[in-house]
Chains A and B, each alone.
Chain A
């Protein structure tokens, strides 16, 4: 059984159909990269997988660990093991960064019938992950993402991911806004989390992230459809030719669709 199985997914937002029939299978242990032009629907797919309400599924099905993902609320999907690193992380004024993650972790643990972690159990783990991501301790007590630089926000997303240990991590353009050193550190953090029972979907525009995180599969999303899938090499080809030629090649080879 695949970890994630998406069948013929159609979704709309604000009255427009954005996803127009997506099929994708992701097995535990795999890293899939999704690339594609601006506005093609990459974030939309990520939001649908996170069960954001405004993104309405009109057709198709999604199974996660064999369960009907579309029947889940966002927090249920999260507790079942889906984590999304946001393209634009949100600020929560007045809520401490460490406190927030501990609350989230305990919500997930409660859902799974596990004991609650108190601050004494939690903080050593949190500190360790912060070191791994080369984050200063001051970020522990600052408000969630408030006043963080773009790169700091992205790092904070990965820190949360490291603490929450999802079985499916969706990274939506985590590399954009990162400087070269930060990119390497974040990629290391992500690589450290690769494991046989965890899968990742990495949304990116740039090969340079994939230099660090080598994907097992690359998919090209254009106008709400996956127009090509391949191995890590496909990303290099894209870098060379651009989306336009890939898209037109795909159109030529694709069967005429309704």
Chain B
């Protein structure tokens, strides 16, 4: 397989295009993590006492875990020890504290967003995307706020929510991902600096996609954002997050938490396109993406869908899941995870069925190229009360070349005999005959691979909002460049 092998290789060796660094002054807290760091972060954000208390509780829990060396070891990923005292936990661009319009924003930041193609500017608002941009730790601009405000929808930075809607924050914060959930969730609860907050009131259908772009700019800073989305009874919201980070030699930690709450008849659709810096071709540098995302279908007939396209990060460790508590509630997980060069991904979902007639669907598409290692890890739990629960799991792996790996670990726990479970799995290799067929019709080998991979991912892409599906397809093509073999 000479030349198509080469093309696969060329495809995977494309350079990261989002690796520029923005030169802005930033305000940081001293390196390291102690109770004082937490107090300083909380003070800088002028948080109410309940927030500081919550952070401190989380910090103490995390410290005990760290002493006990309880950082999770079970995932199928390998990396050197992380020195948690060598991280800067808070970094914010220096600027006037509150912005009346985008014009007041540091033009350097605006230019960065332009390079990223984020529709922040006025004319692009017409495209129907409201963006809450998180630049390092502080959310710097929120568009569309007024229009959403008329409908009673709150879409703002987490900090602003703490200030303006403390009761909502207090009511829901940590109810889906408690600070005791896991090592990284505890760390996030202690130090998280900002993130997005959404509240959609009863019976309101959010008329546009809400979108956040996360970006890690400052060197040696971890980014710990926290997102909380609440859809009240009968509400609907679709939310998209996209992520990129500049190229750095050292690894950077990203430990985010996302909590979703859907009440009776509510629906939340959460889509992620994750393109953090993956490291270089030798596996140096890149983001450690250790993320806890979970949604709770608290109400009857509620629905939460996760769609993720994970092409970046040196290591990805994330399992967006659903707690299906309300009767007839529905959880969905659609995932594309691509690992190229020396990237490692251990990702999947957890579906916990508590309510009657709850249903979950899992579609996972793993693509490995280069020396990439791709693991699907999924858990479906049907508890005693979940009469009539159903799960469908489909788990497909695609290999490009013969130095990469695909692994599947599905865990199933059924405590109610009426449950119906379906599981399908496949592993395939892109065949030389497929590549040749497309070449014979006029496509270059890398275009052929990109077309085959996109076809493989179609079930997931069609869950994405249209414009993001197009973006995801392009991203996949770029991430694969250098991989034909």
Instruction: List A residues at the B interface (Cβ < 8 Å).
Output: 50, 52-54, 73-75, 77-79, 83-84, 86, 89-95, 100-101, 103-105, 107-108, 111, 143, 160, 164
Contact between chains at B457 and A94 (CB < 8 Å):
yes
Known: A107-B447, A160-B441. A53 touches B452 (CB 8 A): no
Contact for B2 among A50, A53, A86, A104, CB less than 8 A: A53
Q: How far is the CA of A111 from the CA of B442 in the complex (A)?
A: 9
Q: How far is the CA of A104 from the CA of B1 in the complex (A)?
A: 23
Contact between chains at B442 and A104 (CB < 8 Å):
yes
Task: Decide yes or no whether B417 CB sits under 8 A from chain A.
Answer: no
Chain B 116-135 interface mask (CB, 8 Å, partner A; 1/0)? 00000000000000000000
B366 to chain A, nearest CB (A): 15
9 contacts between A and B (CB under 8 A): A52-B440, A53-B3, A75-B444, A78-B440, A78-B441, A104-B442, A105-B442, A160-B441, A164-B441
Closest A residue to B437 by beta carbon equals: A90
Instruction: List B residues at the A interface (Cβ < 8 Å).
Output: 1-4, 431-434, 436-445, 447, 451-452, 454-459
Q: How far is the CA of A75 from the CA of B484 in the complex (A)?
A: 15
In the complex, chain B residues whose CB is within 8 Å of the CB of A74: 436, 439-440
Contact between chains at B3 and A89 (CB < 8 Å):
no
B186 to chain A, nearest CB (A): 40
Contact between chains at B455 and A54 (CB < 8 Å):
no
Contact between chains at B451 and A75 (CB < 8 Å):
no
Contact for A92 among B439, B452, B459, CB less than 8 A: B452
- What 13 additional pairs, Cβ within 8 angstroms, besides A92-B451, A104-B442, A160-B441? A53-B3, A73-B439, A75-B443, A77-B440, A78-B440, A83-B441, A86-B440, A93-B456, A94-B454, A94-B457, A100-B438, A107-B441, A107-B442
In the complex, chain A residues whose CB is within 8 Å of the CB of B436: 50, 52-53, 74, 90
Contact between chains at B444 and A86 (CB < 8 Å):
no
Closest B residue to A82 by beta carbon equals: B440
Contact between chains at B454 and A50 (CB < 8 Å):
no
Q: How far is the CA of A52 from the CA of B444 in the complex (A)?
A: 13
In the complex, chain A residues whose CB is within 8 Å of the CB of B439: 73-75, 78
In the complex, chain A residues whose CB is within 8 Å of the CB of B444: 75, 107
Q: How far is the CA of A109 from the CA of B216 in the complex (A)?
A: 42
Known: A78-B442, A104-B442, A111-B442. A86 touches B455 (CB 8 A): no
Main secondary structure of the interface of B (DSSP, over half): helix
Contact between chains at A143 and B437 (CB < 8 Å):
no
Q: How far is the CA of A93 from the CA of B458 in the complex (A)?
A: 9
Known: A53-B3, A54-B432, A73-B3. A92 touches B438 (CB 8 A): yes
Contact for A94 among B2, B3, B437, B456, CB less than 8 A: B456
Closest B residue to A85 by beta carbon equals: B440
Q: How far is the CA of A104 from the CA of B440 in the complex (A)?
A: 9
Contact between chains at A100 and B451 (CB < 8 Å):
yes
Known: A95-B452, A103-B451. A89 touches B437 (CB 8 A): yes
Closest B residue to A106 by beta carbon equals: B442
Contact between chains at A92 and B434 (CB < 8 Å):
yes
A108 to chain B, nearest CB (A): 4
In the complex, chain B residues whose CB is within 8 Å of the CB of A50: 436, 440
> Which 6 A-B pairs give the minimum distances between C-beta atoms?
A94-B455, A94-B458, A95-B455, A104-B441, A74-B439, A107-B442
B429 to chain A, nearest CB (A): 13
A49 to chain B, nearest CB (A): 10
B452 to chain A, nearest CB (A): 6
Contact between chains at B455 and A79 (CB < 8 Å):
no
Closest B residue to A93 by beta carbon equals: B455
Contact for B443 among A91, A94, A104, CB less than 8 A: A104
Known: A93-B456, A94-B455. A79 touches B442 (CB 8 A): yes
Contact between chains at B459 and A94 (CB < 8 Å):
yes
Closest B residue to A145 by beta carbon equals: B437
Q: How far is the CA of A236 from the CA of B154 in the complex (A)?
A: 81
Contact for A107 among B4, B443, B457, CB less than 8 A: B443
Q: How far is the CA of A93 from the CA of B437 in the complex (A)?
A: 13
In the complex, chain B residues whose CB is within 8 Å of the CB of A77: 440
In the complex, chain A residues whose CB is within 8 Å of the CB of B1: 53-54
Closest B residue to A109 by beta carbon equals: B442
Contact between chains at B437 and A86 (CB < 8 Å):
yes
Contact between chains at B456 and A84 (CB < 8 Å):
no
Contact for B455 among A53, A101, A107, A143, CB less than 8 A: A143
Contact for A164 among B2, B4, B442, B456, CB less than 8 A: B442
In the complex, chain B residues whose CB is within 8 Å of the CB of A75: 439-440, 442-445
Contact between chains at A108 and B442 (CB < 8 Å):
yes
Closest A residue to B443 by beta carbon equals: A107
